Structure 1
Amino acid sequence: MARDGFLARLSNLWRGFLSLWISGLEKEHPEIAYENAINGMIEKYSALKKATAAIIRRREDIEARLKSSKAELAQVGQDLDAAVATSQDDLGVMLIQKKTQLSTDVAELEGEMQAAVKDAESAKASLIQVQGEIRKLKAEKDNMLAKMASANARLRIQEQLEGLSVDAEVKALDNVREHIHNIVAESNLGKEIQESSLDQRLAQLRQQGGEANARQELERLKAAATAKKAQTKTM
């Protein structure tokens, strides 16, 4: 007994692992799950179709028997009228018994016919429903697989975008910016040097001009002094 219990638990455990493995496989490959579901529905449809055909065949058999019994009942009624008209009492009694039996058979067949019609309609409705479910499942498969493919494509694009690094591009731009700033600084420095040199030359020029004017003024004063001395001696 203990061994049987252990084997049962081991079997349940194995079925559990197998179920989890199949579930994981179906999640990774949903098309397999959809195909299995669709194939299962198709098998169910085929079995239901055979059962529906058998039900319809039974309805047709009952309908044929009912038609035959009604025709025979009508004929027996005519024969009974003829037997009564010709005073054939013994034949009339047999025909009455037969008519009674046929009436009972017709009533039973009519009941069976009603049930057979309901069964056939119900079976056809179930068949149409399963057929619709198969079409719906196929459409759902195409739609869901398309959604999954689109989602996977978006994920791959996002992963690619997240994996892209712009550090090199930013660093390259930083180097370019620094180079441009250096060139501008050098240009400004050259301009400042040029302006400083010009100012210095102007200052020197002005200084030289001032010295020349001072010398000219000195020479004029000396000449005036000499002329004054000469004039004094003459007097």
Structure 2
Amino acid sequence: MVDISLVGRLSNLWSGFVALWITDVEKRHPEIAYQNAIDSMIEKYGKLKTATAAIMRRREDVSARLESERSELAAVTADLNTALATAQDDLGIVLIQKKNSLDASIKALEQEMEQARTDTQEAKDSLLQVKSEIQKLKDEKDRMLAQMLSAQARLKIQNQLDGLSVDAEVRALDNVREHIKTTVAEAKMGSEMRDSDLDVKLAKLRQSSGAVTARQQLEEMKRARAGQADAVAGKSM
């Protein structure tokens, strides 16, 4: 025999799975969720409209009965006055009893009429409220779906931008940078090699020797001029 509690648990589990599935579908398709809510509100509006119509018909029925009994009361009152004026006491008694019955009935109908008016107004207010809620829900649906479409478009663009790879361009620039650095290093190396070459060293030595010789010649010329100046000074004394 199957355990009843186990069946209940399985039923609850299945209901939970279905609810989760519906929730997931509604998240992925919000227009369905909104439309279901709108359809539910429209169905509620239709039922409330039918109920409101029934309440209004009841109010009209009570009003018609009240009007009819008021008319009858007026006729009975007139007949009673005639019976009193003509001393028809037996008829007067009957008319008084009928008048009293009509007075009580009219009083009850007036109370019923007041309640019918209240019920009708409340039903109409509820009907207008539900109608307003339906319109609000429709406006919200349009607004929210527009926002969702805009967000989806932005996400699509972002995903496309994220998917654009710049690895190839970066690698190409890296290759260019390495080539430039290598070229600069080779040029520097050539310069350093020339500086260390024997011929280059010899040329530098010759340049240095020439400078030393020129310096010596300059000193000799300065001494010769100084000697000449001293000789001229000695003759003038």
TM-score, normalized by the shorter chain, greater than 0.5: yes
| 2:50 aligned residue | 50
TM-score by length of 2: 0.73
1:146 — aligned with what?
146
Matched, 1:72 2:78: no
Residue number in structure 1 paired with 2:95: 95
Given residue 25 of structure 2, which amino acid in structure 1 is its aligned partner?
A: L
Letter in 2 for 1:139: D
Structure 1 counterpart of 2:139, one-letter code: A
> Which one-letter code corresponds to 2:89 in the other structure?
D
2:35 aligns to what?
A: 35
Give, in angstroms, the shift of residue 97 of structure 1. 0.4
Distance 1:100 1:129 in 2: 44
Question: Is it true that 1:169 corresponds to 2:160 in the alignment?
Answer: no
Deviations 1:17-43 (A, max 9, x none): 111111111111111111111111111
Q: Distance in 1 between matches of 2:184 and 2:16?
A: 75
CA displacement 1:158-177 (0-9 Å, x = unmatched): 11111112233344456667
User: 1:8 & 1:78 partners in 2: Cα distance?
Assistant: 74
Q: How many percent of aligned residue pairs carry the same amino acid? A: 63
- 1:117-145: per-residue Cα shift (whole Å, max 9, x none)? 00000011111111111101011111111
1:2 deviation in Å? 5.9
The 5 Å alignment of 1:190-209 reads none
Match of 1:200 in 2: none
Residue in structure 1 matched with residue 4 of structure 2 by the alignment: 4
Q: TM-score, normalised by structure 1?
A: 0.74
SS of residue matched to 2:117:
helix
* C-alpha deviation, 1:180, in angstroms: 8.6
Cα deviations by residue, 1:88-122 (Å, 9 ceiling, x for unpaired): 11111111000000000000000000000000000
The root-mean-square deviation of aligned C-alpha atoms, in Å, is 3.0
Match of 2:25 in 1: 25
One-letter amino acid of the structure 2 residue matched with residue 163 of structure 1? G
Alignment of 1:111-150 (within 5 A): 111-150=111-150
* C-alpha separation in 2, matches of 1:150 and 1:180: 47
CA gap 1:8/1:177 in 2 versus in 1, 3 angstroms: closer
For 1:122 and 1:43, the matched residues in 2 are separated by 19
Report the 3-state secondary structure (helix = DSSP H, G, I; strand = E; otherwise coil) of the residue aligned with 2:165. Answer: coil
Tell me the distance in 1 between the aligned counterparts of 2:2 and 2:94. 74
Give the Å deviation of 1:153: 0.9
**Distance (Å, rounded) in 1 between the aligned partners of 2:169 and 2:10:** 61
Structure 2 residue runs of 5 or longer lacking an equivalent are 186-237
